[in-house]
Amino acid sequence: MKIIFFGAGKLGREALELFETENKTADEVIGFADNRKTGSYCGRPILPIGDVADKDTAFVITVEDPYAAAEIYYLLKKRGFSNIYCFLNRRSGEKTYDDFLQKECLSAAGWGDCILPQVEMHIADYCNLNCKGCTHFSPIFEKTLPDFKGRLADVRRLKEKFSYILHFSILGGEPFLNQEIARYVTKLREILPDTYLQIVTNGLLIPSLDGAVLDSIRTNRVVVSISEYKPTHKMIDQIRDTLEANGIDYIIRPFASKEKFLRPLTLSEHTVHPHKCISNGCVNIWEGKIARCPTLMYIDKFNETFGTNLPNQGIMELANCPSGAKLLEELAKEVPLCGHCVACEIEWENCKAKPALEDFAAND
Ligand code: SF4
Ligand code: SF4
């Protein structure tokens, strides 16, 4: 089969390297496609898709942003291509295989015509790391766990609103603090059989995980995405060894990108800090609600804890919010809280025993 990688960037290069090392089928990468580039990349031509006459050509989407991946999928469908895949971009826990398309890609055959590119859900609101600047405000949450049935009811309600959910993140807080994680993983895979499912974690609990939890992660094809904070960095070899020994797919988001942290909010109307959105598109579901980002979703908890009055408009009830394209449109709209989101750089640190307002919000 002839294959074109759509996305002539870093991910495209990595996909090509993997293809050249692992693939043993007769498939052949004939070039790249890209919305912005022409010429060649990694020694292969960048082909205008209008010139690709063979509609059986397979396209592998090699871009990181799930929203961009969805756009490329719609474009290819419109041009009459149906053999579409998305590169998974994770370190495969499986040691030997020979079919790149089957093992390293997600087939887009069942995506339909209205995709939710990305969504996340807490299975523990609190965390064992309590970073200053946490955009989910995990340090201020009580050490309680959510109702399993309630969380899954939210996922089912959300699923009904779209033809497909591309990326689903199980997170927190720290998701491995929830002893029911294997149950969540199994049930979520049942509800979302073809979605890219990942657990986003600081990784600290991985070396001490129960064998049954590790088994459920592997058998349900869930990727473990590790944010490598300072304490994680100190034990990263142990974490990697545990995942590899158990054949689990993983991604490490490296130390350097987490050394500096941001205080995400300002209380000032006339801030000196540049405006910045660090959670754009990180749609969040929680307790029967949906919001365009975690900072908005948890702002009521923030206001209640610190006696502030930051705006909470834009949080919708899953039971009566619109569906499909209309919901995507609502989720993309700027909300009043956006005016308070800034880039105020801080060193990575834990909150003290009692988190303070200044740990999350600047006043200038
Ligand atoms: S590890 Fe992540 S979830 Fe936990 S406090 Fe830090 S930023 Fe928040
Ligand atoms: S409130 Fe707006 S600017 Fe702030 S993180 Fe959410 S989407 Fe981004």
- pLDDT per residue as tens digits for the range 212-266: 999 999 999 999 999 999 899 999 999 999 999 999 999 998 866 556 788 899 9
Q: Which two tokens stand for residue 124?
A: 């523990």
Interatomic CA distance for residues 94 and 145, integer angstroms: 33
| 258 three-class SS | helix
Nearest C-alpha neighbor of 159 from the set 220, 115, 200: 115
Interatomic CA distance for residues 60 and 21, integer angstroms: 17
Q: Does ligand 2 have an atom closer than 6 angstroms to the CB of 283?
A: no
Residue 339 has pLDDT above 70, yes or no: yes
Q: What is the pTM of this model?
A: 0.95
**Is residue 288 a contact partner of residue 319, using CB atoms and an 8 Å limit?**
yes
Nearest C-alpha neighbor of 225 from the set 239, 246, 208, 210: 239
Strand 164-172 and strand 196-201: pairing?
A: parallel
pLDDT, mean of residues 155-181:
98
pLDDT, mean of residues 307-320:
97
Residue 148 has pLDDT above 60, yes or no: yes
Residue of 128, 134, 260 to test ligand 1 pocket, by largest number of atoms within 8 Å of CB: 134
The confidence score (pLDDT) of residue 234 equals 94
How close is the Cα of 17 to the center of ligand 2, in Å? 36
Is 103 exposed, middle or buried, given 0-12, 13-18 or 19+ CB atoms closer than 10 A? middle
pLDDT: which is higher, 95 or 331? 331
Per-residue confidence band for 96, with pLDDT thresholds at 50, 70 and 90: low
The confidence score (pLDDT) of residue 90 equals 82
Residue of 137, 333, 337, 344 to test ligand 2 pocket, by largest number of atoms within 8 Å of CB: 337
pLDDT, mean of residues 146-175:
98
Instruction: Identify the nearest ligand to the CA of 279 by its number.
Output: 2
Which stretches does DSSP call E strand in 44-93?
A: 44-45, 58-61, 84-87
Nearest C-alpha neighbor of 222 from the set 257, 278, 182, 261: 182
Interatomic CA distance for residues 218 and 294, integer angstroms: 27
Nearest C-alpha neighbor of 61 from the set 45, 83, 80: 83
- What type of residue sits at position 48? P
The confidence score (pLDDT) of residue 94 equals 66
The confidence score (pLDDT) of residue 280 equals 86
Residue nearest to atom 5 of ligand 1 (CA): 130
Residue 2 has pLDDT above 90, yes or no: yes
Per-residue confidence band for 168, with pLDDT thresholds at 50, 70 and 90: very high
Nearest C-alpha neighbor of 124 from the set 104, 139, 105: 139
The confidence score (pLDDT) of residue 151 equals 98
**Is residue 247 a contact partner of residue 217, using CB atoms and an 8 Å limit?**
no
The confidence score (pLDDT) of residue 257 equals 54
How close is the Cα of 140 to the center of ligand 2, in Å? 19
Residue 125 has pLDDT above 70, yes or no: yes
Tens digit of pLDDT for each residue in 5-31? 999 999 999 999 999 998 999 999 999
Strand 289-291 and strand 283-286: pairing?
A: antiparallel
Q: Which two tokens stand for residue 136?
A: 């989910």
Nearest C-alpha neighbor of 295 from the set 257, 269, 266: 266
- CA of 338: how far to CAs of 190, 291, 346, 364, in Å? 35, 13, 20, 16
- Report all structural domains of the chain as residue ranges with CATH numbers, in order of start: 2-107 (3.40.50.20), 115-362 (3.20.20)
The confidence score (pLDDT) of residue 211 equals 97
Residue 284: its H or E element: strand 283-286
Torsion of CA 45, 51, 53, 56, to 10 degrees: 50
The confidence score (pLDDT) of residue 261 equals 83
Q: Does ligand 2 have an atom closer than 6 angstroms to the CB of 122?
A: no
The confidence score (pLDDT) of residue 345 equals 87
How close is the Cα of 174 to the center of ligand 1, in Å? 7
